[in-house]
Structure 1
């Protein structure tokens, strides 16, 4: 059974659903590229529901090891027993395994994915000697933010070329308004104003704002407003404060908030 019993809301911006469905049908791994909070994770949740597949999600980080993904022996009272990691478990049960921000994982950890992303579709458990042949329904999906990662890390070509890549961006204005309206539970005028504000704030990227406001932040801010928090305060805590601690940048963002909600 899929992880989500009800359909996760996702508003497509192009042909990404059809491409993903073909990738799943042809057992191809998928890479989702795009800025933080633009809908990559929601898209995977929607596709898992649409395809009727279980979804196993792993948030990658610097300390993630191959054993964390594959599995390890654990001590149970007076004996040791093998426990599959999320990658091995997904391969066995034919789940979609989603590695969020895969670039954060160490390169020696990412290498373990290679045999699952080509014609072999196998995973070797070196500690047990078992070779797992992935269930036909298994699919590997990874995501990362190329704009942010370009300054810090990058993925090896030998890994990148094992994936079909889908590019994600923030939705066009009308679609983003519709998302904020539905997900944020606010009125049309407020949703429109928040998206307008987001476009202005995103313009500060050239002034040193590393991460610009995402659709996710807009939805969170809309929920605060819908719950009775005053407009400006909701924008300060929901949009401005999470983005930067720089005094001048925060001041510039506050000015834009005040100009938007006169």
Structure 2
């Protein structure tokens, strides 16, 4: 692919390396971040968007590795990352910071403690907004100016106008269709480049298990990869909820299986988390078949 955009040399080098997934240095950077992409396009597109100063929205099922993907991008760009975990309780203080009493030269003064948004903007670093569609619709418009070309915000607690320093980037993640989530309004969604993050499968999943768990037995890793694929297919067929196919939960089961029997590890890490007995029984039966 011919790159006609005048990107910094460091980013061009990163993009070129991303096209050579077998490059040893690149693989080490990926593993340090903890996310192994299912294909290089996923990584190349995310790097391209961030290097152009665009916000990216990672969309995918729970446990697919969206947070790890964000951490890997932060690592590749050598950028620290401040995080916001959205919920219905998210408010302006959770985003911007808060005032508190402090002492200076023996006198009581009011001091402002910066939150993740102001810290990332002032530091010129990454901001990660997790489960952005869990926040109340009236909360997020506060940061609309942060997410568009202006890259500015008026701090409601100090009336200071903050303009993001160079290097500031926003990565958000979304789980669609979950209880408590709300659809993103068009004004907010249009401020992002959307990147669909699928479940890891096949060799990529096996490599993730080898590098991120205590399980190193090749046959056991193959069985867990097959088990994961069967769970994913069951999710696609509507037989299981997305929670059942969480890669995060699968890695927990792999770790436990080093000490306890694999079937019991699957019950503890995956099956018993599910709400419906029908789903728990499905997972237990699948584990019995394979292990």
TM-score (norm 2): 0.82
Report what 2:184 is aligned to: 155
Cα 1:252–1:21 change in 2 (3 A) is: closer
Q: Which residues of 2 match residues 159-170 of structure 1 at below 5 A?
A: 159-170=188-199
Kept in 2: contact 1:148–1:210 (CA 8 A): no
Q: How far does residue 156 in structure 1 lie from its aligned partner after superposition?
A: 0.5
Q: How far does residue 80 in structure 1 lie from its aligned partner after superposition?
A: 1.4
Report what 1:234 is aligned to: 265
Q: How far does residue 231 in structure 1 lie from its aligned partner after superposition?
A: 1.5
Report what 2:37 is aligned to: 12
State the alpha-carbon separation in 1 of the partners of residues 280 and 126 from structure 2: 40
Kept in 1: contact 2:201–2:225 (CA 8 A): no
Kept in 1: contact 2:37–2:204 (CA 8 A): no
Kept in 1: contact 2:146–2:152 (CA 8 A): yes
Kept in 2: contact 1:180–1:215 (CA 8 A): no
* 1:247 is the counterpart of 2:277: yes
State the alpha-carbon separation in 1 of the partners of residues 162 and 53 from structure 2: 16
* 1:189 is the counterpart of 2:225: no
Match of residue 81, structure 1, among 111, 116, 124: 111
Structure 2 SS opposite 1:164: strand
* 1:42 is the counterpart of 2:74: no
* Structure 1 residues 44-68: Cα deviation after superposition (integer angstroms, max 9, x where no partner): 1111111111111121111010221
Please give the root-mean-square deviation of Cα atoms over the aligned residues, in Å.
1.9
State the alpha-carbon separation in 1 of the partners of residues 83 and 60 from structure 2: 18
Gaps of 5+ in 1: none
Kept in 2: contact 1:38–1:171 (CA 8 A): yes
Report what 2:47 is aligned to: 21
Kept in 2: contact 1:64–1:105 (CA 8 A): yes
Structure 1 SS opposite 2:53: coil
Kept in 2: contact 1:32–1:143 (CA 8 A): yes
* Structure 1 residues 217-238: Cα deviation after superposition (integer angstroms, max 9, x where no partner): 1111111112x11121111111
Report what 1:180 is aligned to: 209
Report what 2:14 is aligned to: none
TM-score (norm 1): 0.90
Q: How far does residue 144 in structure 1 lie from its aligned partner after superposition?
A: 0.8
